Amino acid sequence: MRDIYRFLLALLVAFLFLFPFPRRLVHNLFIGTLYVPVLRAEAALLDILHLRQERDYLLAQNAEMSMALGRKPFSVIGEGSVGLKTARPLRFDPAGVPQRITIDVGTTSGIGYGDVVMSGGALAGRVSEAEASTSLLITPFNRDFVAGVLDTRSHVLGTFKGGEKPVIDHIPHWEDVAAGDTLVTSGLSGFLPSGIPLAVVENVYRTDKPFLAINARPLYEPSRLRSFVIVGR
Protein backbone atom coordinates (compact mmCIF):
# COMPACT_ATOMS: atom_id res chain seq x y z
CA MET A 1 0.00 0.00 0.00
CA ARG A 2 2.84 2.37 0.82
CA ASP A 3 4.37 1.74 -2.60
CA ILE A 4 1.13 2.82 -4.23
CA TYR A 5 1.07 6.04 -2.20
CA ARG A 6 4.70 6.77 -3.15
CA PHE A 7 3.92 6.10 -6.80
CA LEU A 8 0.92 8.41 -6.72
CA LEU A 9 2.96 11.14 -4.95
CA ALA A 10 5.72 10.87 -7.55
CA LEU A 11 3.13 10.98 -10.32
CA LEU A 12 1.58 14.12 -8.78
CA VAL A 13 4.94 15.85 -8.52
CA ALA A 14 5.77 14.97 -12.12
CA PHE A 15 2.38 16.28 -13.19
CA LEU A 16 2.89 19.55 -11.33
CA PHE A 17 6.26 20.06 -13.00
CA LEU A 18 4.51 20.12 -16.36
CA PHE A 19 3.33 23.63 -15.48
CA PRO A 20 5.74 26.67 -15.53
CA PHE A 21 4.81 28.11 -12.12
CA PRO A 22 5.83 25.10 -9.98
CA ARG A 23 9.09 24.83 -11.93
CA ARG A 24 9.92 28.51 -11.36
CA LEU A 25 9.01 28.23 -7.67
CA VAL A 26 11.32 25.28 -7.07
CA HIS A 27 14.08 26.88 -9.16
CA ASN A 28 13.93 30.16 -7.21
CA LEU A 29 13.81 28.28 -3.91
CA PHE A 30 16.92 26.32 -4.86
CA ILE A 31 18.78 29.43 -6.00
CA GLY A 32 17.87 31.40 -2.88
CA THR A 33 18.58 28.72 -0.29
CA LEU A 34 21.61 26.92 -1.74
CA TYR A 35 23.31 28.48 -4.74
CA VAL A 36 23.50 32.13 -3.60
CA PRO A 37 24.80 31.34 -0.07
CA VAL A 38 27.45 29.07 -1.56
CA LEU A 39 28.60 31.86 -3.88
CA ARG A 40 28.71 34.34 -1.00
CA ALA A 41 30.72 31.93 1.14
CA GLU A 42 33.16 31.38 -1.71
CA ALA A 43 33.56 35.16 -2.23
CA ALA A 44 34.16 35.68 1.51
CA LEU A 45 36.79 32.92 1.53
CA LEU A 46 38.56 34.44 -1.47
CA ASP A 47 38.53 37.88 0.24
CA ILE A 48 40.12 36.38 3.36
CA LEU A 49 42.83 34.66 1.31
CA HIS A 50 43.49 37.87 -0.62
CA LEU A 51 43.76 39.92 2.58
CA ARG A 52 46.19 37.40 4.06
CA GLN A 53 48.37 37.55 0.95
CA GLU A 54 48.28 41.37 1.03
CA ARG A 55 49.11 41.35 4.75
CA ASP A 56 52.10 39.04 4.25
CA TYR A 57 53.36 41.20 1.38
CA LEU A 58 53.02 44.45 3.37
CA LEU A 59 54.68 42.90 6.40
CA ALA A 60 57.63 41.77 4.28
CA GLN A 61 57.96 45.20 2.65
CA ASN A 62 57.62 46.98 5.98
CA ALA A 63 60.27 44.78 7.61
CA GLU A 64 62.65 45.27 4.69
CA MET A 65 62.26 49.06 4.69
CA SER A 66 62.55 49.30 8.48
CA MET A 67 65.74 47.25 8.45
CA ALA A 68 67.16 49.39 5.66
CA LEU A 69 66.40 52.57 7.58
CA GLY A 70 67.69 51.12 10.82
CA ARG A 71 71.15 50.40 9.38
CA LYS A 72 72.05 54.08 9.39
CA PRO A 73 71.31 56.75 12.02
CA PHE A 74 68.86 59.45 11.14
CA SER A 75 70.55 62.62 10.04
CA VAL A 76 68.91 65.71 8.63
CA ILE A 77 72.17 67.21 7.45
CA GLY A 78 74.80 65.13 5.73
CA GLU A 79 78.37 66.32 6.17
CA GLY A 80 79.25 68.57 3.30
CA SER A 81 76.20 67.52 1.25
CA VAL A 82 73.76 70.34 1.98
CA GLY A 83 73.85 74.06 2.64
CA LEU A 84 71.86 75.87 5.29
CA LYS A 85 70.21 79.25 4.82
CA THR A 86 67.98 81.28 7.10
CA ALA A 87 64.78 83.08 6.12
CA ARG A 88 62.00 85.10 7.69
CA PRO A 89 58.29 84.85 6.90
CA LEU A 90 56.69 87.66 4.92
CA ARG A 91 53.13 86.42 4.61
CA PHE A 92 50.90 83.65 5.99
CA ASP A 93 48.12 82.38 3.73
CA PRO A 94 45.67 82.08 5.36
CA ALA A 95 46.49 83.84 8.60
CA GLY A 96 46.53 81.73 11.74
CA VAL A 97 47.21 78.21 10.47
CA PRO A 98 48.90 78.85 7.12
CA GLN A 99 48.84 76.43 4.23
CA ARG A 100 51.33 78.58 2.31
CA ILE A 101 54.05 80.92 3.59
CA THR A 102 56.04 83.51 1.64
CA ILE A 103 59.63 83.88 2.83
CA ASP A 104 62.21 86.59 2.16
CA VAL A 105 64.82 84.60 0.20
CA GLY A 106 64.79 83.32 -3.36
CA THR A 107 66.85 82.00 -6.23
CA THR A 108 69.51 84.68 -5.81
CA SER A 109 70.24 83.15 -2.40
CA GLY A 110 70.37 79.65 -3.86
CA ILE A 111 66.82 78.64 -2.96
CA GLY A 112 65.21 76.12 -5.32
CA TYR A 113 62.07 74.08 -5.80
CA GLY A 114 61.72 71.26 -3.28
CA ASP A 115 64.12 72.67 -0.67
CA VAL A 116 63.27 71.60 2.87
CA VAL A 117 62.18 74.29 5.33
CA MET A 118 62.48 73.77 9.11
CA SER A 119 61.47 75.80 12.14
CA GLY A 120 62.05 75.06 15.81
CA GLY A 121 63.67 71.74 14.94
CA ALA A 122 60.59 70.47 13.08
CA LEU A 123 59.63 70.28 9.43
CA ALA A 124 57.76 73.44 8.48
CA GLY A 125 57.30 72.72 4.78
CA ARG A 126 59.02 72.61 1.43
CA VAL A 127 59.57 75.20 -1.27
CA SER A 128 56.94 75.01 -4.02
CA GLU A 129 57.85 78.21 -5.93
CA ALA A 130 61.06 80.25 -6.00
CA GLU A 131 61.53 83.73 -7.45
CA ALA A 132 64.52 86.03 -7.36
CA SER A 133 64.06 87.46 -3.85
CA THR A 134 61.13 85.53 -2.39
CA SER A 135 59.92 81.94 -2.22
CA LEU A 136 56.63 80.21 -1.46
CA LEU A 137 56.50 77.12 0.71
CA ILE A 138 53.68 74.73 1.45
CA THR A 139 53.24 73.67 5.07
CA PRO A 140 52.05 70.37 6.59
CA PHE A 141 48.61 72.00 6.82
CA ASN A 142 48.37 72.05 3.02
CA ARG A 143 46.55 69.21 1.24
CA ASP A 144 49.32 69.06 -1.35
CA PHE A 145 51.89 68.24 1.35
CA VAL A 146 52.59 64.49 1.35
CA ALA A 147 55.56 62.76 2.96
CA GLY A 148 56.66 59.28 3.92
CA VAL A 149 56.96 58.94 7.70
CA LEU A 150 58.37 56.51 10.24
CA ASP A 151 57.09 55.87 13.77
CA THR A 152 60.20 56.27 15.96
CA ARG A 153 58.84 53.87 18.58
CA SER A 154 57.62 50.93 16.49
CA HIS A 155 59.49 51.67 13.21
CA VAL A 156 56.24 51.38 11.25
CA LEU A 157 56.15 53.16 7.90
CA GLY A 158 53.25 55.27 6.67
CA THR A 159 52.26 58.29 4.59
CA PHE A 160 51.60 61.74 6.06
CA LYS A 161 48.85 63.62 4.21
CA GLY A 162 48.55 67.29 5.08
CA GLY A 163 45.48 69.45 5.51
CA GLU A 164 43.56 71.25 8.22
CA LYS A 165 43.38 67.88 9.99
CA PRO A 166 46.39 65.88 8.80
CA VAL A 167 46.14 62.09 8.66
CA ILE A 168 48.50 59.14 8.39
CA ASP A 169 47.62 56.59 5.72
CA HIS A 170 48.81 53.21 4.41
CA ILE A 171 49.48 51.62 7.81
CA PRO A 172 47.89 48.14 8.06
CA HIS A 173 45.36 47.70 10.86
CA TRP A 174 47.48 45.11 12.69
CA GLU A 175 50.50 47.42 13.14
CA ASP A 176 51.54 48.95 16.47
CA VAL A 177 50.83 52.68 16.39
CA ALA A 178 49.65 54.60 19.48
CA ALA A 179 48.69 58.14 20.43
CA GLY A 180 51.76 60.16 21.38
CA ASP A 181 54.13 58.43 18.96
CA THR A 182 56.55 60.75 17.18
CA LEU A 183 56.71 60.60 13.39
CA VAL A 184 59.82 61.54 11.43
CA THR A 185 60.38 61.61 7.70
CA SER A 186 61.32 58.21 6.31
CA GLY A 187 63.35 59.48 3.35
CA LEU A 188 61.27 57.34 0.99
CA SER A 189 59.19 60.17 -0.50
CA GLY A 190 62.00 61.25 -2.80
CA PHE A 191 62.33 64.91 -1.79
CA LEU A 192 62.83 64.79 1.99
CA PRO A 193 65.85 63.45 3.86
CA SER A 194 65.19 60.95 6.61
CA GLY A 195 64.89 61.75 10.31
CA ILE A 196 63.22 65.17 10.30
CA PRO A 197 60.59 65.45 13.08
CA LEU A 198 57.23 66.04 11.41
CA ALA A 199 54.23 65.16 13.58
CA VAL A 200 52.80 63.43 16.65
CA VAL A 201 50.06 60.81 16.52
CA GLU A 202 46.88 62.14 18.14
CA ASN A 203 44.30 59.38 17.65
CA VAL A 204 44.28 55.86 16.23
CA TYR A 205 41.06 54.19 15.10
CA ARG A 206 40.65 50.58 13.97
CA THR A 207 37.82 50.14 11.47
CA ASP A 208 36.71 47.44 9.06
CA LYS A 209 39.13 48.83 6.45
CA PRO A 210 42.59 47.32 5.77
CA PHE A 211 44.40 50.43 7.08
CA LEU A 212 44.33 52.29 10.38
CA ALA A 213 42.59 55.67 10.58
CA ILE A 214 45.16 57.96 12.23
CA ASN A 215 45.01 61.67 13.03
CA ALA A 216 48.28 63.53 13.46
CA ARG A 217 49.36 66.94 14.75
CA PRO A 218 52.30 68.65 13.00
CA LEU A 219 55.16 69.62 15.31
CA TYR A 220 55.57 72.91 13.45
CA GLU A 221 53.73 75.64 15.38
CA PRO A 222 53.04 78.69 13.17
CA SER A 223 51.71 80.64 16.16
CA ARG A 224 55.28 80.88 17.44
CA LEU A 225 56.93 83.21 14.96
CA ARG A 226 60.47 82.05 14.31
CA SER A 227 62.97 82.31 11.51
CA PHE A 228 63.23 79.37 9.11
CA VAL A 229 66.18 77.20 8.26
CA ILE A 230 66.29 76.02 4.65
CA VAL A 231 68.07 72.79 3.88
CA GLY A 232 69.26 72.79 0.28
CA ARG A 233 69.06 69.50 -1.57
pLDDT score for 129: 95
Domain stop point among 20, 46, 70 = 70
Number of domains in the chain: 3
Question: Is the pLDDT score of 172 beyond 60?
Answer: yes
Task: Looking at the structure, tell me whether residues 65 and 10 fall in a common domain.
Answer: yes
Question: Is the pLDDT score of 138 beyond 50?
Answer: yes
CA 211/CA 174 separation, integer angstroms: 8
pLDDT score for 76: 43
Residue 106: give the domain boundaries: 84-142+223-231
Picking from 102, 121, 116, the residue whose alpha carbon sits closest to that of residue 224 is 121
Task: Looking at the structure, tell me whether residues 130 and 227 fall in a common domain.
Answer: yes
User: Which of 65-69, 151-155, 211-215 is predicted with the least confidence, judged by mean pLDDT?
Assistant: 65-69
Task: Looking at the structure, tell me whether residues 121 and 158 fall in a common domain.
Answer: no
CA 89/CA 37 separation, integer angstroms: 64
121 lies in some domain: yes
Choice between 76 and 146, residue whose per-residue pLDDT is larger: 146
pLDDT score for 191: 75
Question: Is the pLDDT score of 227 beyond 70?
Answer: yes
Question: Is the pLDDT score of 77 beyond 50?
Answer: no
Domain stop point among 31, 47, 70 = 70
Identify the CATH number of the domain in which residue 197 sits: 2.40.10.350
Q: Which pLDDT band holds residue 121 (cuts at 50, 70, 90)?
A: confident
> Per the confidence metrics, is the pTM higher than 0.75?
no
Query: Hey, what's the torsion of the CAs at 17, 20, 24, 25, to 10 degrees?
Result: -60
Query: What's the rounded mean pLDDT across residues 98-104?
Result: 95
CA 39/CA 46 separation, integer angstroms: 11
Write out pLDDT tens, residues 19-76.
565 556 555 565 556 655 666 766 666 666 666 666 555 555 555 555 454 444 444 4
Query: What's the rounded mean pLDDT across residues 121-149?
Result: 94
CA 39/CA 228 separation, integer angstroms: 60
